[in-house]
Copies of this chain bind each other. A is one copy, B any other.
Amino acid sequence: MPAVVQEHGTGQVLMLAWMDDEALHRTLTTGRATYWSRSRNSYWVKGETSGHAQHVKSVAIDCDGDTLLITVEQTGAACHTGNHTCFFTPLEVAG
Q: Find chain B residues with CB under 8 A from A83 CB.
A: 63
Task: Flag whether A2 is at the interface (Cβ < 8 A).
Answer: yes
- Please judge, given known A-B contacts A11-B11, A67-B16, whether A60 and B94 are in contact too, CB under 8 Å: no
**With A and B bound together, what is the CA distance between A60 and B1 in angstroms?**
21
Give chain B residues whose Cβ lies under 8 Å from the Cβ of A89: 60-63
Whether A59 touches B95, Cβ cut-off 8 Å, given contacts A11-B11, A16-B2, A16-B4, is: no
Instruction: Judge if A51 is at the interface, Cβ distance under 8 Å.
Output: no
The 10 lowest CB-CB distance pairs between A and B, nearest first, are A11-B11, A62-B86, A60-B87, A69-B87, A16-B67, A59-B91, A63-B86, A31-B95, A60-B90, A4-B4
